[in-house]
Structure formats: structure tokens, C-alpha cells
Amino acid sequence: MLTYGIHLLIIVIMMACNNTSNIEQQNTTTNTEKDDRSLPISQTKFQQGVDFYATGPDSSWTLELDFEKDFKFKRADGFVFNTPAVEGIKAQDANVVRYRAVVESGEMIIQLYKQECIDGSTGKKFPYKVSVEIKRGTDLNYTRVEGCGRFTFDERIHDIWVLQQLNGKTVTGSDLPYIEFNTTEGTVMGKTGCNNFTGKADFKGNKLTLGPLAVTRKFCANAAYESDFLKVLQPGEMEYTVDNGKLSLSRNGKEGIIFKKID
């Protein structure tokens, strides 16, 4: 009787462990799927190391460019054409960059046009028009497709950020400068603590390029950080990182400014 009771207890414990394991596995799967679905596709590509992503109408084809590794083209019907990454050639008379990759199985020519492109199926705006031409070894002519694309970047920068540190020093006060990046429109706006400002911003990878800022000319006696703040935001390329609700902007590896996300 004692032996039977021990066997029964072991069976009950094993069943409980299995149920717990199944529940944990289901929860993990559900959470992972939720996290993946919540990310914009360009953010996912950024995390995967893709530098530029493009797609055709109704997702008929996709293109992924990793400038340090390879170029990948894929059609919805299963056709795939991959090549090693190659250097782009910028046209002298137009804002176009051309990539020509030749491999044993054929040739792929990619052209990125810096102009607004609207996806006809979704209505979504992209900053680049893209054309892809492919000719395999047995083909007499190139097959050409067109679509829209964009450079990938950390989309968490799309937010409103209030100044926390400037030139290595913590800032204090009730009316601190703030900045807002709109990655959809490619714009930046904000306040110096006194004056408002607006401008253009372009995002590529972990870099952003600021255009000249239009700043109002209101006089404020308490604009303690305005001058230094605007000096950091001079036109040109900056590196940025987003981590734990903080945005850091720097030039040439020298930290210049830190913001905190507005809750």
C-alpha cells in the first residue's frame, strides 16, 4: 500500500511539472509573438543589421541591403537573388545612387532615388524611390521592378525629449529645452527654453543629419541654456543612441547632449 502511494505521488508531481512547463512555454511564445508584432518592420530590420529596406506594390518583392555584408532580393513567388555587398556610385547630376553587383548566376542593378515615394497599396510615404534590375545568366534582357524604400534606424527616436545634460553638466529649471523628432515626416522641432525652432532631419542607421534650424527671435531673460543648446544642434551629421528612456546625441564620438523621454 505504501509503495502504491509513493508511485501515485510521483505521477501527480510529474503531471504538475509538465503542466507548469507547458504554461510557461505558451506564455513565452505569446509574449515573443506580441513583441515581434509590435515592432515596425523597419525597426526589426534595423535590429537585424539591415541598412536599407525596400518593397514593391502589394509586397510583390522585397529588397534588403546590408552594406557590410550582402544584398538580398526576394519576390512573392519565391524567386530569390542574392549578391555580396558592393560600393554605390552617386550620379553627378541627380540625387541617385547606383549599385551594380555581378555574380556567377547573373547581375543585379539597384538604384536609390532620393525623392518621395508613396506605396500605392498602403498609401505610406517613403523617402526613396527604388528600382531593381536583374538579369540571370540565361536571360537575354533585364527584369525591372520599382517600389519604395528607406534607410533603417532606431525608430524609438520618434518622440519628445526634454534636455537632461548639456556639455557634460546636468541642467535644472522649470522650462527646460526640449526636442521632438518626427521620423515619418523627416522633421525636428522643439523649444530652446525660450524660442521655438523647426527644421529637417534625416535618419540613417545610428546617425541623423540635421538641416538648418529656423529659430524664433523672442528675448527671454531666463534662457540659460539657449546659446549652448543651439550650438550642439548645428547643421550636419550626428550620432545618436536610445537606451532606457534616454537619447544621447554626439559628434565625432564626443558626447554633447542627453535627453530624457517625456512620459
From first CA to last CA, the distance across the chain in angstroms is: 64
Measured in degrees and rounded to the nearest 5, phi and psi for residue 42 equal: -70, -30
Judge whether residue 29 has pLDDT over 80.
no
Judge whether residue 9 has pLDDT over 70.
no
Q: Residue 32: what pLDDT?
A: 35
Convert the pLDDT of each residue in 68-77 to its tens digit.
Answer: 999 999 999 9
Convert the pLDDT of each residue in 220-261 to its tens digit.
Answer: 877 889 999 999 999 999 999 999 999 999 988 777 799 999
Convert the pLDDT of each residue in 96-122 to its tens digit.
Answer: 999 999 999 999 999 999 999 999 888
Could you say which architecture CATH assigns to the domain 155-261?
A: Beta Barrel (2.40)
Q: Residue 182: what pLDDT?
A: 94
Q: Residue 39: what pLDDT?
A: 63
Average pLDDT over residues 184-211: 94
The residue type at 245: G
Judge whether residue 4 has pLDDT over 80.
no
